[in-house]
């Protein structure tokens, strides 16, 4: 028996354990709360976005919105809570949570969309939260 076989055996065991190891939990929890009812055209739809550690501590984060149709991004929008909609041109910075009011145009009525909220925490990564929506008239 050669002196290499115990090393090869340990390498094989280490590879097996690496594959069998459970996946790590996400470095942070990003959530989006929306009303149960679908949004109405030309009416405000209030959403709440949160970024916290698994233990519940608020985190500094940024967020922006992507609207998808048939799996393709058709629009990217930036939150502007407390300001006129459409005036922001970069991801919104917040700590813990924020509320925003989305306003959908009448031309979006009846189209199946996905609202994706992209939440980023420096050094911890990105979480994407998707909600299927269909704007009502």
- Per DSSP, 36 falls in state S
Q: What are the pLDDT digits (tens) for 115-137?
A: 999 999 999 999 999 999 999 99
- Structure confidence at residue 84 (pLDDT): 67
> How do the pLDDT tens digits run along the chain, 137 residues long?
444 444 444 444 444 444 444 445 568 999 999 999 999 999 999 999 999 999 999 999 999 999 999 999 999 999 988 776 666 789 999 999 999 999 999 999 999 999 999 999 999 999 999 999 999 99
H-state helical runs in 21-137: none
- Bridge partners of 116, per DSSP, are 66, 130
Token duo for residue 39: 């949004």
Radius of gyration of the chain (CA): 22
CATH 2.70.210.12 fits 25-134, yes or no: no
Q: How many CB atoms lie within 10 A of CB 47?
A: 19
Q: What is the DSSP letter of 46?
A: E
Alpha-carbon 26 to chain mean position: 12
Residue at token pair 């090393």: 7
User: For residue 34, what pLDDT is reported?
Assistant: 94
Per-residue pLDDT, 81: 80
Nearest to 102 by CA among 49, 45, 36, 41: 45
What is the pLDDT at residue 86?
63
The Cβ of residue 3 has, within 10 Å, a number of other Cβ atoms equal to 6
Q: Which pLDDT does position 26 carry in this prediction?
A: 61
């Amino acid at each position: 028996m050669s002196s290499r076989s115990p090393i090869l055996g340990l390498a094989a065991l280490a590879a097996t354990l690496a594959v069998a190891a459970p996946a790590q939990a996400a470095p942070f929890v990003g959530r989006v709360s929306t009303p149960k009812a679908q949004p109405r055209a030309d009416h405000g739809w209030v959403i709440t976005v949160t970024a916290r550690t698994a233990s519940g501590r608020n985190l500094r984060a940024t967020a922006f919105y992507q609207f998808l149709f048939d799996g393709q991004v058709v629009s990217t929008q930036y939150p502007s809570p407390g300001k006129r909609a459409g005036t922001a041109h970069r991801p919104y910075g917040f700590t813990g949570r924020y509320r925003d009011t989305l306003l959908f145009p009448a031309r979006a009525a009846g189209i199946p969309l996905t609202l994706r909220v992209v939440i980023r925490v420096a050094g911890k990564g990105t979480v994407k939260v998707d909600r299927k929506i269909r704007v009502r008239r």
